[in-house]
Structure 1
Amino acid sequence: MHSPKAEAETARPVTPTGEETRLGGWGGKLFAFTVYEVEDAEGEPEYRVYVDDGPGERLVCWFTSDREAAPVWRGAWNGDQWCARIEERARAIVANPEAAGGNGK
């Protein structure tokens, strides 16, 4: 039997599909986080954060514009010490993509 959380984790692509709009990102020498916007099944905006730390971009979490709704963290990211900082940076990019170097698809 699958848990709703496990089903939610597998309901999103692990790597970007090319259908997303890049809003911006941040990083350092060894990693880069990128925030993308995509429509969910109901046509509402959903935001996905991917990290590339060498092997290519992989999904970290996703969230909606509802600040009261917590992000859904994928795999080992769930409960990671950096979750709050990642969410803060990602939501700042969603609020002002131009300042974050967003460049569209």
Structure 2
Amino acid sequence: MASVAAAGEGPYNLRSDGKPGIDGYIGDFRLGPAVFTLYCLGTHPADAARITEFLVDVDDSAGPRECCRFTDDSDGVAEWARTWQDDPWCPEILKRCRGLIAAHGKGEEGSARWRPTG
């Protein structure tokens, strides 16, 4: 899995949108030769439903690029980057992201919120 760099480690751990890779980091996973990283972008203040938006970046050694954005809204539809539209990996990517979100919410081992005890 990819490691999270500290904020002072320079411009090397950036999200595809240019923000630091530690901002909203939930987790990552490998699929084939690529590493997918999931970030929580938060909620929109004007949104009464408190729908959370997520960003999925992909890095296949060419630097992070946006793969997809989706929300936790049950009626929401994932917005795939043009190069990922209709890719056969799309359902698996979303499945793994939802698993990371669930593990993160519970603070399970391996999640960004998990802290060892003792």
TM-score w.r.t. the length of structure 1 is: 0.72
Equivalent residue for 1:56? 63
Give 1 or 2: higher helix fraction: 1
Corresponding residue for residue 72 of structure 2: 65
Distance in structure 2 (CA, Å) of the matches to 1:100 and 1:60: 26
* Aligned position for 1:80: 87
SS in 2 for 1:39: strand
Partner of residue 101, structure 1: 110
| Structure (1 or 2) with the larger CA radius of gyration | 2
Q: Which has the higher contact order (CA 8 A, sep 6+)?
A: 1
How far 1:69 sits from its partner (Å)? 1.1
Normalised by the size of structure 2, how large is the TM-score?
Answer: 0.65
User: Does 2:89 match 1:89?
Assistant: no
Which of 7, 17, 20 does residue 19 from structure 2 map onto? 17
- Alpha-carbon shift at residue 91 of structure 1 (Å): 1.2
- Distance in 2 separating the partners of 1:84 and 1:20: 25
List gaps (5 residues or longer) in structure 1.
1-12
Q: How far apart, CA to CA, are the structure 1 residues paired with 2:89 and 2:18?
A: 22
Give the superposed CA RMSD: 2.5
Unaligned runs of 5+ in 2: 1-14, 114-118
Output the amino acid matched with 1:22.
Answer: Y
Which structure is higher in strand share? 1
Count of residues in correspondence between the two structures: 92
Distance 1:101 1:28 in 2: 17
CA deviations 1:40-73 (Å, max 9, x no partner) are 5437521111111011111100111113311100
* 1:49 partner amino acid: V
Distance 1:85 1:100 in 2: 21
Identical residues among aligned pairs (%): 27
- The alignment status of 1:32 with 2:41, answered yes or no, reads no
> Closer, same or farther in 2 for the Cα pair 1:69/1:80, shift >3 Å?
same
